[in-house]
Amino acid sequence: MTDAAASPSPGASAAETPELGPLIVAVAPNGARKTKADHPALPVTAEEIAAAAAACREAGAAMIHLHVRDRDGAHLLDAEAYRRATAAIRREVGDDLVVQITTESVGRYGPAEQMAVVRAVRPEAVSIAIREIVPDEAAEPAAAEFLAWLAHERVMPQYILYSAEDLERFRGLRRRGLIPGERPFALFVLGRYARGQRSLPADLLPFVNPLPVDIDWAICAFGPWENACALAAAALGGHVRVGFENNTQLADGRTAPDNAALVAQVAAGAALLGRKLADAAAARALLSASV
């Protein structure tokens, strides 16, 4: 290859092509739907989740996306269950992971219940699906009050977006002042919660054409191409969430032994991309711009 071929395009400058910042790797170790029948290492109890959190931290994760279950293993939004799980994680890793609780409804909870559990827990961070918390225009006043409360309490939100249409609606809400924060943090979901769902890196394209420059963003994906999707996002400056919530397979098709193995794959790929991994302090510094 000649020097000319290796050089940036005419007119490009270092200021126009900044180095990518540290990569936040979040782990979603269990989700709302899978059970130990799907994978025996799926963490369900607070103690199991905490042990998985410690292993994932060692593998390179900076954040854990937290789901809790009831006694029958069903999805639960419950303040005391969140407190127990968070305390167990803190005993294992201290402040070395950002703990993000979910408000996912899974058809069991409405917006009022989703917002109430967050107010009761006052977590460090929370994920919020725009289409669930703000399903229509009538829901906007309550959602705006809730999001303003998050900002006041310094609870760091991540906005879950399932489609390019969700992203456009999110931007509209932001223009009208319902979404606070200097740089909101979004999660692009590549695919759907459906049996046999297999996300592909190309599923990212509707979200990044053009590439978002006014928000920070991450992706999650389903199936054995999860790692490829994660690295595609990382190469474009995004962040990633992996774990048994959406996928239990390694990139080579084998069953992953645990969540930490999925985190380790991303960490190895990030090194090849030249992106350093964010630790929890770096993740908090970035997420603080979302409130």
Q: pLDDT higher for 128 or 11?
A: 128
Q: How confident is the model at residue 209 (pLDDT cuts 50, 70, 90)?
A: very high
Q: pLDDT higher for 15 or 264?
A: 264
Q: If you classify domain 21-290 with CATH, what class do you get?
A: alpha beta
**pLDDT at residue 1 above 70?**
no
Predicted pLDDT of residue 114: 98
Rounded to the nearest integer, the mean pLDDT of the chain is 92
Q: How confident is the model at residue 104 (pLDDT cuts 50, 70, 90)?
A: very high
Task: Give the mean model confidence (pLDDT) for residues 139-155.
Answer: 97
Predicted pLDDT of residue 184: 97
Residue range 30-73, pLDDT digits in tens = 999 999 999 999 999 999 999 999 999 999 999 999 999 999 99
Task: Give the mean model confidence (pLDDT) for residues 139-161.
Answer: 98
Predicted pLDDT of residue 198: 87
Q: How confident is the model at residue 164 (pLDDT cuts 50, 70, 90)?
A: very high
Residue range 125-136, pLDDT digits in tens = 999 999 999 999
**pLDDT at residue 256 above 90?**
yes
Q: How far is it, in rounded angstroms, from Cα 70 to Cα 93? A: 24
Q: Pairing state of beta strands 75-76 and 68-69?
A: antiparallel
pTM listed for this prediction: 0.92
Q: How far is it, in rounded angstroms, from Cα 157 to Cα 101? A: 10
**pLDDT at residue 10 above 90?**
no
Residue range 215-248, pLDDT digits in tens = 999 999 999 999 999 999 999 999 999 999 999 9
Predicted pLDDT of residue 19: 72
Three-class HEC string of the chain: CCHHHHCCCCCCCCCCCCCCCCECEEECCCCCCCCCCCCCCCCCCHHHHHHHHHHHHHHCCCEEEECEECCCCCEECCHHHHHHHHHHHHHHHCCCCEEEEECCCCCCCCHHHHHHHHHHHCCCEEEEEHHHHCCCHHHHHHHHHHHHHHHHHCCEEEEEECCHHHHHHHHHHHHCCCCCCCCCEEEEEECCCCCCCCCCHHHHHHHCCCCCCCCEEEEEECCCCHHHHHHHHHHCCCEEEECCCCCCECCCCCECCCHHHHHHHHHHHHHHHCCCECCHHHHHHHHHHHC
**pLDDT at residue 250 above 70?**
yes
Q: How far is it, in rounded angstroms, from Cα 32 to Cα 21? A: 31
Predicted pLDDT of residue 101: 98
Task: Give the mean model confidence (pLDDT) for residues 8-12.
Answer: 38
Task: Give the mean model confidence (pLDDT) for residues 186-203.
Answer: 86
Q: How confident is the model at residue 193 (pLDDT cuts 50, 70, 90)?
A: low
